[in-house]
Amino acid sequence: MSGSRELGRTLRSWRDRTAPAAVGIPTGGLRRAAGLRREELAQLASLSVDYIIRLEQGRATSPSAQVLSALTRALRLSAAEREHLYLLAGQSAPGPGQVSAHIPPGVRRLLDQLDGAPLSVYDAAWNLILWNPLWAALFGDASALRGRERNITWRHFAGLPSRISHTAEQEARFEAALVADLRAATARYPTDVSLRSLIKDLRGVSTDFANLWERGTVGVHESHTKTVHHPEVGTFILDCDLFTAPSCDLRIVAYTAAPGSDAADRLKLLSVLGTQALTEDSIPG
């Protein structure tokens, strides 16, 4: 059996074994099989249905590393399965010198179970790789974003739209922490070409970033507040905390509000409205 056909067969078997409820998809209505539909896998991986079909039929023979990473996350593959997927595609899985977007099962379960708070997960280069429904309702569905559009550092220093605003003091701390994070990432992942390219382009697009980078600015992320401007539920302030997943260098960002507060009420409203509240300005924060 050719590599592309074996890849397609394996993807189909993993899709068939993945229960919709396990990945947050409602299971109401009649289903022919217990696994995911192609349309559902395409949505989870931010790929087209046609491309999923061509992969499974062995007609798409050279999926990119970005596609393989997206499929790994969508199908919730184990580390061994991830290695096998890259092997079938004729590629090497990202090594220790490269930023990894692999999400351990425990982090997946965290997002599945903590559905009362907007949560998002970023890799060591601050690329957005996972979020829960309440985060999407708060900041906009990021599934259509590609490449640098999903990188929080690029979005900030390139001046892309955001639903979050900072005071001057908050912005200075936030920028210093982002730059320090990227500097640390270059030391941990010295062979990551994408990371080096991101830093080069950031220095070219933003004099603020370039100055902070040249000065060797050091900063750390601390618990703080964010002012959110939502097109449907208005402007309100949330607490923002960052957690690091052990041994995998992922950053989990959580937004919370004190029980009984106005902000908590607005979050509850968003949990009811869901992504129905999204507008054309659906841009992640």
Taking only the tens place, the pLDDT of each residue in 68-106 is 988 988 898 887 888 899 888 988 776 667 888 888 877
CATH topology of domain 105-277: Beta-Lactamase (3.30.450)
**Separation between Cα atoms, residue 202 and residue 10, nearest integer Å:** 39
Distance CA 268, CA 117 (A): 9
Half-sphere exposure for 181 (CA within 13 Å, toward CB): 25
Beta bridge partners of 242: 253
In the chain, count H helices and then E strands: 12, 6
Q: How many Å apart are CA 197 and CA 189, to the nearest integer?
A: 13
Query: What's the confidence (pLDDT) of residue 28?
Result: 66
Tell me phi and psi for residue 255, to 5 degrees. Answer: -110, 130
Crossing angle of helices 168-188 and 193-205, rounded to 10°: 150
The CATH H-level (homologous superfamily) assignment of domain 3-88 is: lambda repressor-like DNA-binding domains (1.10.260.40)
The pLDDT of 150-159, averaged and rounded, is 96
Which has more confidence, 216 or 158?
158
Structural domain boundaries of the chain? 3-88, 105-277
**32: pLDDT confidence band, cut at 50, 70 and 90?**
confident
| CA angle (144, 63, 112) in 5-degree steps | 50
Same fold, 3-88 and 105-277: no
Threshold 0.75, pTM exceeds: no
Residue 281 has pLDDT above 70, yes or no: no
Q: Determine the pLDDT at residue 230.
A: 94
